[in-house]
Structure formats: C-alpha cells, structure tokens
Chains A and B, each alone.
Chain A
Amino acid sequence: MDFEWSEDDLHHRAEFQSFLRDFLPDNWDDLSQGGPGSDLQAEFSRTFCRALADRGWLTQHWPIEYGGQDAPPWRHSIIGEECWAIGEPRGPQYMNVNWIGPAVMRFGTEEQKREHLPPISRGEVLWCQGFSEPEAGSDLVALRTSAIRDGNDYVINGSKIWTSYVNHADFIILLVRTDPSSAKHRGISVLLVPTDTPGIEVREIPSVVGERYFHEVFFTDVRVPTRVRLGPEDEGWSVVTYALQYERVGAARYARAAFTLDRLAELARERGLLDDPLVVDRLAEARTLCEAARMLTYRVIDQRAHDLPPTTDTQIARVANTTADYRVGELAVEILGPDALEYGSFADANFRLAMTAGVAVGSTEVQLNLIAARHLNLPRE
C-alpha cells in the first residue's frame, strides 16, 4: 500500500488548477450555481471541454486509438476531483468521458466508435441518460419503454423520467425493452438515439431542486435504425451494469462536499460562529465524512487502475459519498440559518444540489441492498 501521489500526478494537479484559475470566468461561482445541467453550465461546457480536449486532458484515460493517451485512471480522477469540487465546469459532459464513452468502447461496433468517440473526446457533444421510467425507478428492470423491430428499424414507444440534461443533449443513451414478452433483466437493449429524432417530446418537471433539472421524455413511434443498438439485442443489462459501476463513483461528490465545507467554515468564521464549540464539532464531523468518502472512492479507482473486476466497494463508496454530500448540504442550512432561505444563496444552492444525493443514480437503499447481499453475504428471504 502506498497513499502518496506520484510527482507526475502532483504536477498534473497543479497544472490543471492553474488552468482553471486562468480559464474560468470571474463570475464562475454564480454561473455554476444551477448545477451541471443548468442552461449556463451546459453551454459553458462546450467551450470548457473543447479547451480541455485541446490540452489532451478531457479523455486522457482513454486508449490512444480512441482519442486518449492511455493515462492511468488516477490522472482522470484528479481532473474529476478538481472539476466536481468547484461545480463541474464540464457540465453534463462528465458523464460522456466517465462512462458513456467507455461503454461505447466496450460494447460498440466499429461504426459506433467512429461516430461517437471522436466528438466526445473533442468535447463537442452532450449526452443524457434515459434509464428511469414512471414505473421503473429503483426497480430499473421493470422498465417498459419498447423498441419493436420493423425491418431494419426499431420503433420506440414509451417514456422516461427524471432525465437531466436532455434539454441540451444531442444524444440519449436509452434503455428499452426489445422483447416485449420478456421480464426482468432479459429482453432489455441499449440504444444510442439522437435527441432530434422525430417523435421525441421533452417536458420539464418543475422541482425544488432547480430550473430545468428534471424532465420527462416521451417517445411516440420514434423510428431509429437497428445499428444504433449498443451491444447485443436483449442483453443490454450487462451494458447497464458496466456503465453504472463507472457512474456511481463518476461524480466526485466528496470533493464538492469538502470544498463547500471549507467555504462554510470561512462563512461561519466571518459570522463569529467558530467560537461555538458545537458548530466546530459539526463541521469537523462533516469533514470526517468527506474524508472517508474520498478514501473509499480512491479504493475503487485503484481497483480500476489494477484492472480488477468491479466489487461492492463501488456501492460502499457511493453510500459514503452521498452521506457526506447530504450532511454538508444540511449543515450549510443549519449554520447559516435564515440566510440560507434566500434563493441562490450559498447555502441554498448547495442544499439543492446535495438533497438529491441519496436518490440520484440508484437510491441509497438499493446500494445498501447490494452491500448486504454481496459484501456481507446476507441471505434473501
């Protein structure tokens, strides 16, 4: 074991931080308040990710043949940590580079790789994920959106829900049931669908998280060629499982929480609240949660660096991350008091992003189920 960054990694981080200082606009704090999917941030991501790509940093962990540099996963995680901490200037594109690209590499045809990987690695394209449905939330395998073969096409009908980023996305990575007679894991396929395909309708679901955060997407006789299918027909569940392993630790929530916590401590100091030992105690407790989540996430990255198969350490890291994120969010409201009530204030903005932590990307309860079954080997009924 060795818990030290290499000289290369340290240098890389310093270089990237300096790039961020130069590149981000002065009003970045305001601009980034709405989260990665806000209009401002989605738009900014197009400039920012192109600049990252120009410097070879956007997809450095990818193989050279797909526009990467074969850099160790640690290098990419440094970028992820620095970006997520300050509010993710890559916008929705963090998903592209973390798991959509790798899923295309793993399961895609040569044609799909040629079509999708270069634009992702150049930072020119936005994606969203169409997984959840009104009747398939935590129980994702209950999904019903259908894609029925008609010659060389699929005809898609159904709807997706909670879809972030779809209002800006060029493509949606869509889970559909290609075998309507099937149930559960069998009969699911993954389609890579351009969002401008006729028959797709997007409606915003107003929420207290923020504007244009959640959407519902309706598919009415949407016709796409079968060649947009990623991986084997009816066996898309393995694609999803692969993708989710990446996604669950893709967002460095611990870094965002730790960064927010340091700023909260400064705000508390300005208000004279650091003289209160109870405030100090709560801040320190939150710090321990961020640090535990960081190390648990690093362990997952390390396993990836060693090319080891995914384990429930991913779920363990995920639970720790959401706990830390949530705690810091609620602490900001608690410590800053009535100031938190103003829309767009520091505490408000952070709380809105933090409060979805345990629900997004698979609820905490589903993660705990997996830890119980596979890490502790607890029996089913």
Chain B
Amino acid sequence: MNFELDDDQREILNAVNALLERHAGHARATALAQKVEYDHRLDTALADAGFDAAIDPLTLDGALETILIIEAVARAAGVTSFPAQALVARAVAGRAVAGPVALGSGDLQSPIRFGAHAHSFLFLVEGEARLARLDVGDAEPIASNFGYPFGRISRQAIARSESVGPQSGERLLNWWRVAVAAEAVGTMSAALDQTVAYLKDRRQFGRAIASFQAVQHRLAECAVRVEGSRLLVYEAAYQHAPEEASACAAAYALESARQLFRETHQLSGAIGFTREHSLHAWSMRLHALGTELSGVSGHRRALAAARWGTR
C-alpha cells in the first residue's frame, strides 16, 4: 500500500496540467459548446505529447497513469474523448483505436457523447463489445445543454460493426465504469473549487457567504464525497477494473456527482445558472456522465451482482 504519487506519476501530472493550461479550460469548453464542437486541437496536443500512445493501460502502472490524465482533463473541462480512446477502447480492444471514440450501451439511438465527431463507435450489445468505424454522414449532431457535444449514430453504421471478441462486453462495462467515474472526479473537484472560490468572494449580510456554517458543512460534505470518489477510482484502476471495484467506484462517484450538482448550484445562487459564470461548464456534465451505463442504479445493480450474486 502506498498512497503517494511516485515520480513518474508526478511528472505525467505536471506535463498534462501544463498542456491543459494552454489548450483547455472552461472558456474554451463554453465556446466549443455554443457551436456543439469537439476539441480536435486538444486531442492533437494530447497525442503530440504522447499521452494517448505512450501509456498502455494494460501494463501494471498504465491504467492508473491514464486515470490521472483523465481526471486532469476533466478538471480542465476538456472537450475530448480521450478517456474513451486512451483507456476504454485500448483496454477493451487491446490495441489503439482511431479517435475520437464514442461509447454506447442500451438504446443506441439515444444521444451518444461525441457521437457526431467520432471515428470509432464502441458499444455493448447482448453482452458483447462491438466496434464500428464511422465516416462522414454516419451521425448527426444533437443539441444538448449538458456540457458535451452529442450525436445520433445511424443504424447503418452500427450494422457495419464487428465483434471485439469473447468477454469483450464485460471488459467494456468495467473499464467504462472506471473511466466515467474518473471523469466525474475531475469534474466534481473543479465544480467544487469553483463554488468555494465564488462563495469566499461573494458577500451577503455583510460577510462572505462561505463563512456561514450552514454553507460550510455542505461544502465539507461535498469534499468528503470528492475525496472518497477519487480513491475508489484509483483503486479500481490500479486493480485493472475488476467488476466489483469498478461498479463500486462508479456508483459512489456518480451518486456524489448528483449531490455535487445540487449543492454547488444551490449554494451559488442564480449566477450559477448563467453562461457568464463558469460553474455550468462542469456542473451540467455531471448529469451527462450520470446517464451512462444506466447511471447510478445500473452501477449499483452491477455492484450488488458482483458482491452478493443478485440479478
């Protein structure tokens, strides 16, 4: 057991944070959101820096290192399918998959995150992972208020898919759960930081709102949730996404995401709903992440099945 970052991990984090400072942030995310655009520039920067190819998530430390990058990208509100491409697709297919990558499960005609921009669509059907290559015209953009570009992928493109192989469905479920939980962690921590900064600054009744105990306790509870989520995600990634740990991390992190949305918005007041204030760049995403893989109830069902053999 060792909870400290090692030198490699620290170096990766420093490098990715330096890159994100130049290429991401809420202003960029907001600008892209207005055009329902994807951040190809950020993808290129991450690829040029070697973050997508240099780390193999199936090596001993690779998964955790990739998770650290995913968390950092989410904190910086990156509009990129890096988590799906660098972690999920690579771990499920065992090789690099052309990005951007969109992930799907359940009703494949529902809005798919990055669906309109993806070159690869990795999805789950009847317990099997399948991969479809998408060309121009295979998907159409869908307007959404939930912080990412979404698209609807044509049935024809889905019909052209190929199986990723035996047991690929379970691998997809488990790695996806870890990835989405890691995105939730980065997104939650940024939403909380943003809210804390605002409430320290904003004064009402002659004092900073953040000095009221009624407010402080709620923020402290949020902090407990963020910290717990992060550690569960790290552990699941370190163990290479076993079913129970992955479902547990996702169930806790996405439940936390709901609470973080509610609390950060409630405490930020009306300004929190505006486009000029940056909270929405993260907060709205929390609910988008919460819809994947049947959301919290789906993760909990999976956790109970793994733990107690329920169906």
Mark A residues whose CB is within 8 Å of B. Answer: 1-6, 9, 74, 262, 265, 269, 274, 277, 280-281, 283-285, 287-289, 291-293, 295-296, 298-299, 301-303, 305-306, 313, 316, 319-320, 323, 365, 368-369, 371-373, 375-376, 378-381
Contacts and interface: CB of A to CB of B under 8 A. Distances in A.
B220 A371 contact: yes
Given A3-B235, A299-B3, A371-B220, A284 B207 contact: no
Given A295-B232, A375-B220, A379-B210, A284 B6 contact: no
Contact of B223 (A4, A269, A375): A375
Contacts of B235: 3, 295
25 contacts: A1-B2, A1-B9, A3-B234, A4-B1, A262-B308, A274-B308, A280-B300, A280-B301, A280-B304, A281-B304, A284-B304, A284-B307, A287-B307, A291-B252, A293-B228, A295-B232, A298-B231, A316-B227, A369-B220, A371-B223, A372-B216, A376-B216, A379-B210, A379-B211, A381-B207
Nearest to A305: B1
B255 interface: yes
Given A285-B251, A372-B216, A378-B210, A1 B223 contact: no
A181 to B, nearest CB: 30
Contact of B1 (A5, A269, A323): A5
Contacts of B3: 1, 298-299, 302-303
Given A2-B2, A281-B300, A284-B300, A295 B228 contact: yes
A378 B214 CA distance: 12
B217 interface: yes
B165 to A, nearest CB: 28
**Chain A contact residues: over half helix, strand or loop, or mixed?**
helix
A1 B216 contact: no
Interface in B297-311: 297, 299-301, 303-304, 307-308, 310
For the complex of A and B, the 7 pairs showing the least CB-CB separation, nearest first, are: A292-B228, A284-B300, A372-B216, A295-B231, A288-B252, A371-B220, A302-B3
Interface string B26-67: 000000000000000000000000000000000000001000
Contact of A1 (B238, B255, B301): B238
B231 A296 contact: yes
Given A285-B300, A287-B248, A320-B228, A369 B1 contact: no
Given A280-B300, A316-B227, A378-B211, 9 more contacts: A3-B1, A283-B304, A285-B300, A288-B232, A288-B252, A302-B3, A303-B3, A368-B217, A379-B200
A281 B224 CA distance: 22
B142 to A, nearest CB: 30
B248 A288 contact: yes
Given A1-B234, A280-B300, A293-B228, A365 B1 contact: no
B227 A296 contact: yes
A1 B196 contact: no
A2 to B, nearest CB: 5
Contacts of B252: 288-289, 291-292
A378 B213 CA distance: 10
Given A283-B308, A293-B228, A369 B255 contact: no
B308 A285 contact: no
B310 A280 contact: yes
Nearest to A298: B1
A290 to B, nearest CB: 9
A280 B310 CA distance: 8
A42 B226 CA distance: 38
Given A296-B227, A372-B217, A1 B303 contact: no
Contacts of B217: 365, 368-369, 372
B100 to A, nearest CB: 29
Q: Which of B2, B6, B231 has the most CB of A within 10 A?
A: B231
A301 B4 CA distance: 12
Interface in B204-253: 207-208, 210-211, 213, 216-217, 219-221, 223-224, 227-229, 231-232, 234-235, 238-239, 248, 251-252
Contact of B251 (A3, A288, A303): A288
A296 B2 CA distance: 13
B5 interface: yes
B210 A1 contact: no
B1 A74 contact: yes
Contacts of A313: 227
A368 B224 CA distance: 9
Contact of A285 (B6, B208, B234, B255): B255
Contact of B239 (A3, A269, A289, A323): A3
A270 to B, nearest CB: 12
A291 B232 contact: yes
A376 B196 contact: yes
Contacts of A262: 307-308
B223 A376 contact: yes
A1 B232 contact: no
A286 B216 CA distance: 25
Interface string B1-34: 1111110010000000000000000000000000
Contacts of B200: 378-379
A2 B251 CA distance: 22
A4 B237 CA distance: 12
A6 B15 CA distance: 31
A143 B156 CA distance: 75
B22 to A, nearest CB: 27
A323 B248 CA distance: 16
A262 B244 CA distance: 14
A296 B217 CA distance: 18
A287 B211 contact: no
